[in-house]
Each structure stands twice: as structure tokens, then as C-alpha cells.
Amino acid sequence: MNLLLQSISVVVTVLVFWMCKKIYARWKFFFLTPLLICPILIILLLAVFHTPYVTYAKGTSLLTNLLGPATVAFAVPMYKHFALLKKYSIEVLMSIIVGSAMAITSSFLFSLWMGLSTSTVDSIVPRSITTPIAMNISQLIGGLPTMTAVFVIITGLIGMIVGPMVIRMLSIKASTAKGLLLGMGAHGAGTSRAFEIGELEGTFASLGMIVAGIVGFILTSTFFPILDHSL
């Protein structure tokens, strides 16, 4: 029974995502992106068939476990453009360190200003890091990994929509800058959007997302506890 449930959950999820990809390929409107439409359709299906989310989550654990390998796969285009990445290594690293520090600090201070609970604050802090790493960080600092995943997804969707608008408003022409903006600001969702713009943009978005995850982990393990105890 468990095997049957897992098979049905995986097949339905893949089919819904495939359908959403086809729709988005046909009509390129940001509100039709699979990252937004697919979860909504899955929720509707669960509601119609009275299936508890816990049951569905167990059935699709195989897909959830592939998040890590999928993130690592972004290293492939980075290898292809290694010479260019090496050329801008200092600029990229400094941008990511400053950006990550600002993201962590602003998330923390805004959460405190809103008067949120300690566990919620700790769950929001890693929101600007890709999901697998963010969930681990959340657990490490006392947050709720599932809540963190929700904030990461929301951040990614907003960044994927707003990012291209910011690029146009600021007349950003450099592929490196476009990629880093989308990769750091919207992690996986932004990287996917960057690859739609171009391979070079996607490559730097991948770099931004992966390095931001590493830098974010280091900062939340060292800088965040100091900030947390001082306020």
C-alpha cells in the first residue's frame, strides 16, 4: 500500500509539474510559473481527494531527497565557464558576502520589529539561502525547517518576479550582474529564471546561489548568534 501511494504521489506530482511547464512555455506570464501554479494545483488535488498533506509528503519523499543533488547539478554550467568565473572571483565573493550579511541582518531586524516569536525569527533568518541548506541552518539555530522552506519559496517567487523588473529599471547590461542578482536574491527560482535569459546569466546565478549558501551557513553559525545575543 505504501509503495502504491508513493508511486501515485510521485507520478501525479511529475505530471502536474510537466503540465505547468507546458503552460508556462506557451504563455510566458510570471503568474503562470510552475513554481507558483504547481503547488496550488497539488493543494487543490489533495483537498478534492481528502488526502492529508503528511501522507502526500511521505509519498513524495523521493522527490524531496533529490533537492540536494539537483542543487549540486548547477555546478555543471559553472565548470563550462570556469575561466570567466575565476576572472571575476574577487568581485563575486565580496558581493555575495556583503549581500548575505545584509539579507541575514535585515531579516532578523525586521522580524524583531514585527514582534515575531523566537522560533519564527530563527526560521526567517535563512530565507535568502537555497532550500536544502536553509532548512539545515534553520534546525541548527533553533528554527522550524518546514517554516523556513515556506519563507524560502516565497522569497524565491518574489525575487523571480521582481528581479527582472529591477534589472530593467536599473538598465543592468552585464550578464554577470544579472545572474548574481537573480541567484542571490531568488536562489533556485531566480537561477531558473536566469537560465531563461541566457546560459551565462544562469551560470553566475548558480554560482551566486551556491556560494551564498556556503557564506550564509558560515555567517549564521558565527555572526548571527552574536547579533542575536546583543539585541
- Convert the pLDDT of each residue in 166-222 to its tens digit: 999 999 888 888 999 999 888 888 888 898 888 889 888 988 888 888 888 888 877
Grid coordinates belonging to 65: 531527497
DSSP secondary structure string for all residues of 210-229: HHHHHHHHHHHHHHHHHHHH
Domain residue extents for the chain: 2-65, 75-230
Read off φ and ψ for residue 8, nearest 5 degrees.
-65, -45
Q: From residue 28, give the alpha-carbon distance in Å to each of 70, 73, 161, 186.
A: 24, 25, 12, 18
Read off φ and ψ for residue 73, nearest 5 degrees.
-60, -20
Q: Is 142 left (phi over 0), alpha (psi -120 to 50) or beta?
A: left
pTM: 0.78
14-21 long-range contacts (CB < 8 A, ≥24 apart) are 14/63, 16/41, 16/42, 16/45
**Which pLDDT tens digits describe the chain residue by residue (231 residues)?**
467 777 788 889 999 999 988 888 888 777 788 888 888 999 999 889 888 888 888 888 888 778 777 767 777 777 877 888 888 888 888 988 888 888 888 888 888 888 888 888 888 988 888 888 888 888 888 888 889 988 998 898 888 888 989 999 999 888 888 999 999 888 888 888 898 888 889 888 988 888 888 888 888 877 766 666 655
